[in-house]
A and B are shown apart, each in its own frame.
Chain A
């Protein structure tokens, strides 16, 4: 009996292997067919109209991010924004500039590398992802091996771009945010005794915390207490708030995501503790939490590259298009992802990049473009990149007034 079952299982394994091989080969065949069809379509169209700035085979751009699991809200935002940007660019150009595909990585390094390999089977030429830090570090090493251009919208650890010179970020690095926050607090004399509450199990949060602490020492800010929580232990944060209160902190720095921050604001409100709260870009989204009394966030300051209710034309257009397509207000992750696609588009047009080129040549051309030009996007004007792949743009501080962001 057992022999039979195992032979059946073995057979099914071989079958699945065979199936894997065959589907993949038909996939590539189909996609090459599709791309050749697309290229003929593109050339005929180009010959006919010649209106778009980009005429050539569509470039295959892929995204990776968590669209299931705990970090799904970030991945979903990035996925939506990338889709929106690709659609807009293709429509504006008349012919397809990008072919786009998004794969789920469940916020896991192993799954993210799998997703990357799947995209490579599809014919990936430029990677706009992954979304979260740990998967990005793993995938960045793979792209560096393949010399495939990668630009992450939101993986902000410095280790991501250290993997190779083909890896770029459009978000601030964590150290930059920590340093910028400490400078901003010290220069504007927002507080003298600083308390910090951070997530020690999270790479983003602990990364900012460390650099903030180092810079605060330089700037003469007194850190009276630093309280940590972990991902397993965050259902009640009132202890951390109480400790900050006991230590007499008049400013509490929160380098964490907005869900936990909302709990901290509620706990502080309950105990009648009213320091200045100061957050980073992860705080963006706090006004959109359902059932959260936004009056509690009054006076909360945050450094963020993007505010959904900013009045400039670009942001307004993006927010209304996003709302129409997905019924949701975009957050900073979405804005970063939108910028990534547009930045790649700008570089592709300027660098004369064509989908017929192989991924390595595209990578070299994009590298040359990104290190030499500037890009104006939703998350910053005049962004430039150095050879390491880190972005340089001015941080924007906003304060919440009357339930909306206001510039400071």
Chain B
């Protein structure tokens, strides 16, 4: 049966298998008491970053547009989802509220993706990168100046300070400008994270291997040719961009509900670049690579804590080495020579494989 499976299906199964295997491994280690506090504390961020990397790879790898504003979508998703969670968590059962928070986070981020996408996707290359970068910064600065409160008269909103919300004495400030949202009850768990990762992978892998996905990749490879055969460019570009934004929003909610405070400052340019690094190191257009790169690169700085001051230096060196190992022509040639023996046996498969792999 395995032989008859489509190449892409097999590849997708391996990717999902890695995620499920990781989950099972962690459960076993956790049951055996072998997990350190340090590592178990990173499980939820790992899931969030994996979702972010996979979703950004849809824009960067499949659509071929460089987006530097992914943290902006994460931010709007995180704030809207967390707001729902904070407001409703006392009045409704927790699983329902969480579900609602994820849905709202995703929808709001998707909406922003749509609004930003319409003008932005008329641009390409460097211009698109700059506009998305600006979007991320705008979101950060607006959220930094955003004050939202609730009292018996309803919601109050201000861009000035929390005093100008003019609330009753019983009023509660929900978003307090630069302080963001505080007092969030930690709700994200590793299981929820893994479920979201699997959902993300299922949706995006299916999209990529579908008719729409082939159209998106056709636009990436040659926009003029794609247009000439009648592919509606705007529709497919928006489809990829909005899907990517939705999952960034969901990841934002997952991330935000893991900590008791949420500030807009976190979702700055550096976070966008960090996610892009996951995508590039994992291989542009390679979703499985994004999963692995996001997980490894999230854990790595923590593993290097014992190096003290040299930690970030070593982290940077690792990035450079991996990049050279992955991309440099000499290294690729060297790797080919080293692995030539393994490949001789599978020579027959190879030609087939080349066609199938995305």
Contact = CB atoms under 8 A, between A and B. Distances in A.
A113 B177 contact: no
Given A2-B357, A5-B326, A10-B292, A206 B302 contact: no
B294 to A, nearest CB: 11
A23 B41 CA distance: 17
Contact of B260 (A67, A111, A140): A140
The 5 A-B residue pairs with the shortest CB-CB distance, nearest first, are A141-B260, A117-B41, A137-B261, A24-B36, A117-B37
A214 B165 CA distance: 13
Contacts of A16: 296, 299-300, 303
8 contacts: A5-B326, A16-B296, A109-B263, A114-B42, A134-B263, A162-B182, A200-B161, A206-B178
A200 B183 contact: no
Nearest to B306: A23
B261 A159 contact: yes
Interface stretch (B86-94, B108-116, B137-145, B198-206): B137-145
Contacts of A116: 41
B251 to A, nearest CB: 13
A58 B38 CA distance: 23
B218 interface: no
Given A9-B293, A20-B39, 10 more contacts: A4-B339, A5-B289, A20-B303, A109-B261, A109-B266, A116-B41, A140-B260, A207-B179, A210-B161, A232-B137
Contacts of A133: 179
A229 to B, nearest CB: 12
Interface in A358-375: none
B186 A201 contact: no
Contacts of A13: 292, 295-296
A213 B286 CA distance: 54
Nearest to A2: B357
> Which residue among B141, B179, B339 has the maximum number of chain A CB atoms within 10 Å of its CB?
B179
A200 B178 contact: yes
A286 interface: no
Contacts of A145: 186
B304 to A, nearest CB: 11
A6 B289 contact: yes
Chain B residues touching A, range = 35 or more
Interface of A: 1-2, 4-6, 9-10, 12-14, 16-17, 19-21, 23-25, 67-68, 103-104, 108-111, 113-118, 120-121, 133-134, 137-138, 140-142, 145, 157, 159, 162-163, 199-203, 205-207, 209-210, 213-214, 230-232
A12 B296 contact: yes
Contacts of B339: 1, 4
A289 B4 CA distance: 72
B337 to A, nearest CB: 12
B311 interface: yes
Interface string B257-285: 00111010110000000000000000100
A56 to B, nearest CB: 25
Given A24-B38, A141-B260, A9 B179 contact: no
Interface string B336-347: 100100100000
A200 B303 contact: no
Nearest to B302: A114
B13 interface: no
B45 interface: yes
Interface string B184-208: 0010000000000000000000000
Given A21-B39, A137-B260, A206-B179, A110 B295 contact: no
B299 A201 contact: no
Given A2-B286, A21-B39, A110 B45 contact: yes
Interface in B159-185: 161-163, 177-180, 182-183
B312 interface: yes
B41 to A, nearest CB: 4
B53 to A, nearest CB: 14
B183 A159 contact: yes
Given A21-B29, A114-B38, A108 B266 contact: yes
A121 B36 contact: yes
A290 B20 CA distance: 56
B296 A9 contact: yes
A12 B297 CA distance: 12
A210 B162 contact: yes
B292 A159 contact: no
B288 interface: yes
B334 interface: no
Contacts of B286: 2
A159 B178 CA distance: 13
A200 B163 CA distance: 13
A77 B354 CA distance: 57
Contacts of B288: 6
Contacts of A232: 137, 141
Contacts of B263: 109, 134, 203
Contacts of B301: 111
A209 B286 CA distance: 49
A1 B351 CA distance: 12
A21 B179 contact: no
Nearest to B308: A104
